[in-house]
Structure formats: C-alpha cells, structure tokens
Structure 1
Amino acid sequence: MNKNLPDQTLGTLASAVPGATRVFHEFQLDFCCGGDKTLAEAVAQQGLDLDRIVAALAKLSEDPAVGIDWRQARPGELVAHIVARFHERHRVQLPELIRLARRVEHVHAGRPACPSGLAEALEGLQQELESHMMKEEQMLFPMLANGMNGPAQGPISVMRFEHEQHGNALANIQRLTNNITTPVNACNTWRALYGGLNAFKEDLMQHIHLENNVLFVNASIAAEGAHHG
C-alpha cells in the first residue's frame, strides 16, 4: 500500500485509512472538496514534504485499531450517521460560535489580531448550511436510502456545488482568524472560540468528505450499474 499512497486520491485515503483525516488536518490538506486530487498533486501544490506525510499515513495503515469503513455500509445507515453526527452537531456548534465571535469582536475590536467580520461570516455559513442540510434531509437522503440512485444524480451535483461554497466559506474563516491561530495573551472567550472553530472545521470537512467521497460515489456507481444492467 505504501508505494502507491502518493497516487491515491485524498478522498480515497480518507475513506480507506482510519485516522488519515487527522494527518490531512495537520498538514492543511483539503480531503473533502479537494478529495479528487492525488496525494502527490495536493502535496506538490502546497510545497509540503511528501515523504513525511506518506510515513505518517503508512504508520496509520499498520494500526490494528480500525474504525468503521463507511464504504461498506448501507446508504440508510450512512445517512443516519451523517444526520446524527454532523447535521445535528453543526446546529449546536454554529449558534455558540457566533455568540463567542460577537463577544470577541466587541471586546477586542482595537487589537490587530481581532477577527473582524468573523461573526458575520459564520452567520452566512450557518444560513447556507441550514438550507443545504434541510434539502438533504427532506429530499436527497430519502431518495438514496430508498435506492433511487438514478434520479438522485441531479440533486447530488447541486449538493457537490454547495459543498464547494462551504469550503470557500471555511477558507474565508481561516483567513479572518490567521488560520485559527489563538493570539498570545488571548482571553478565555477567544480561546474557546478558536477551539470550537477548529472542532467545527474538522467536523465539516469530515461531513463533506463522507458525502462527496463515499455516499455520492456509491450512489453514482449503483446508478451506473443499474443503467448498464
């Protein structure tokens, strides 16, 4: 496996190697919206050390503590997991992050590192994400759970496009927060905000990855098989 790690896409590695997403977060590699790039391409684009990342992934793939391989799950199971683990969590995370961001922006407006515009950016993402999740829960997910893979291809392409918008929103949030880096002497509210932002970013990337690279890919393969069958 190690020899061909650089030739595999980030999405495939994130699905196949438990813990790979932690390595990708550490090196700022986008495995959700950028999941169709090979590891070698993504690393070259960012000027990172390929050998170091391959070594970290190889170590993971030897780890006997294997998590659930969602590629083998039934669509209904994966959909239920996505809604419970990510949709419900985002609905709790974002209001609190917005509240904390407003407080930090108000109290520390004079400091150079103050993330001005963060609360507004988070509110915009909250509106986009809520609309997106509702469309999935009410229309797309029931179609996939019921095996309607052919008719689902149109809505899937819309969801993929919206995922790219979420990725752009995350990039903007990282820009506003100096890559979510807590300043020296930051107050507890500021630390809580950036800690929560990091957790939210990891959750959202994992969420988009499971949809783009597992749920939607499986549905496309099934639709193709039915078409040829």
Structure 2
Amino acid sequence: MPAIDRNATVAEIVTAHAVTARIFQKHRIDFCCHGDVSVAEACRPRALDPDTVFAELEASLPQANGDEDPRALSTFALVARIVDRHHAYLRRTLPFLEPLAHKVASVHGDHNPRLLGVRDAFLELAAALEPHLDHEEAVLFPALLSPAPDREILRKELEGMMSDHLQVGALLERIRALSEGFTVPEWGCRSYRVLMSELETLETDVLRHVHLENHVLMPRFAGRATAEARG
C-alpha cells in the first residue's frame, strides 16, 4: 500500500485514497471546495498537528478495500457514477429528512433551540441541492458529454457549479455547528438520534459527491483544450 504523499494537497490525497475523506471530515478539513492546500496549511487554522493527522491518514489506508480510482473512469462513467450513486441518494434522502427535521425541531426545540436552526439550515440545503441536481442532469452533464462542447457554455456552467458547491459547503458547516457535531443528548429520542445519524451520513455523501465534481470531473475541462479533456 503506497504511503500518503506529504507534498500533495488535501484534495489530491482524497482523490488518490478515498478512504482518507473520513479523517479530513472528522477534523472538519474541507477537501472539496477549499482542498487545494497542503495538509499542513489545512491544519493551521484548526490548531491541528500535521504529523498526527498524517498518522491517522496512513492508518486508514488498509481499510480502503480496493476502492476504485475515479481518475481511471471515462468521463461518461464518472458522470454515471455521480448520477447513479450521489444524485440518487439525495433524491431519496432529502424528502425523507424534511419531515423528520420538522418533527424533531417541533418536539425538542424548546429544550434545545439549536434544533430550530438545524431544521432551517437543512431546508435551505435541500432548496439549494434539488434544483442543482436537476440542472446538472439537464444542462451541465449533457454539455460535458457533447461531441462538440461549447467552451463558453462550459465555462459558465462550471463556474455556476462551483458557486453552488460553495453555498452547499457553507450550509453543511452550519448544520454541523448547530448540531454540535451531530451529537445526541441523553434525553434525545429515537427520532432525534435518527436525524443526527442521517444528517452526518448526508454530509459524508455530499462532501464526496462535491469532491468528485470539483477535483476529478472539472479538471478534465477547465483550463485545457476541450478536445484533449474529454475522457
């Protein structure tokens, strides 16, 4: 098993070793929209010891279970993975979580007012994600897979995608902060526990989804000739 490249960016490490995403997520290190920094740079604002983080990253490698390198996928296969795995997950999960977030906020909001903020941030997240998925499937992905893609359209669409991702990342961070890291107090009911667990799973999936789009899909088209970039 190859060691972690200590000169690589956070995003490059996750691309090469998908299993390391959970370590960065645990330490609230952004490997998606702000992943183009070294581990040492990412650790500085959080007062983390880079050597300790690298030790955790390297300890996670045996758990990779032969994860496929997404860079080896054709563009068509990569888009299909994003739609079939990540878009499908969100289309199932967002409608399930909405009534649950309302219920937990209604029942326990007086005891823990932060739950009202969790509910509101989740509703904002769902309102941002649902049209984003539709637009990617109807406009962005067909443009990327076109035999003769228009560079100006691609530029505008990729800029829009990045803007959406920044908004989503900020909302995920807000939900994590308001939920105090998805913790459940001793008095939390089953619905409370399910909501926190599902929100953490949602965060995990969305971060990996955004990482694939920002750091595997987008570089095939941004800043290079379209004819050379298609997978």
TM-based fold match above 0.5? yes
User: What's the RMSD between the two structures over aligned residues?
Assistant: 2.2
Q: 1:76 to 1:190 in 2, by over 3 A?
A: same
What is the one-letter code of the residue matched to 2:209? H
CA offsets 1:111-135 (integer angstroms, 9 cap, x no match)? 1365113222222211211111111
1:31 aligns with 2:31: yes
Structure 1 residues 149-164: aligned runs within 5 Å: 150-151=151-152, 152-164=154-166
What are structure 2's unaligned runs of at least 5 residues? none
What is the one-letter code of the residue matched to 1:102? H
In the other structure, the counterpart of 1:99 is 99
Structure 1 residues 102-141: aligned runs within 5 Å: 102-112=102-112, 114-141=114-141
- 1:49 and 1:113 map into 2 onto residues whose CA distance is 34
In the other structure, the counterpart of 2:168 is 166
- 1:57 and 1:149 map into 2 onto residues whose CA distance is 40
> Does structure 2 conserve the Cα–Cα contact (< 8 Å) formed by 1:9 and 1:35?
yes
How many Å apart are 1:3 and its aligned residue? 7.5
- 1:201 and 1:34 map into 2 onto residues whose CA distance is 16
What is the one-letter code of the residue matched to 2:142? P
> Does structure 2 conserve the Cα–Cα contact (< 8 Å) formed by 1:149 and 1:219?
no
Q: 1:62 to 1:165 in 2, by over 3 A?
A: same
- 1:31 and 1:9 map into 2 onto residues whose CA distance is 9
In the other structure, the counterpart of 1:187 is 189
Classify the secondary structure of the residue corresponding to 1:65.
coil
TM, length-normalised to structure 2: 0.89
After superposing the two structures, state which structure 1 stretch, 30-39 or 113-122, moved more. Answer: 113-122
- 1:34 and 1:55 map into 2 onto residues whose CA distance is 22
CA offsets 1:22-54 (integer angstroms, 9 cap, x no match)? 211222211111211211100111111211211
TM, length-normalised to structure 1: 0.90
1:88 aligns with 2:95: no
Aligned residues: 226
In the other structure, the counterpart of 1:19 is 19
- 2:92 and 2:170 map into 1 onto residues whose CA distance is 21
Q: 1:140 to 1:177 in 2, by over 3 A?
A: same
What is the one-letter code of the residue matched to 2:199? L
What are structure 1's unaligned runs of at least 5 residues? none
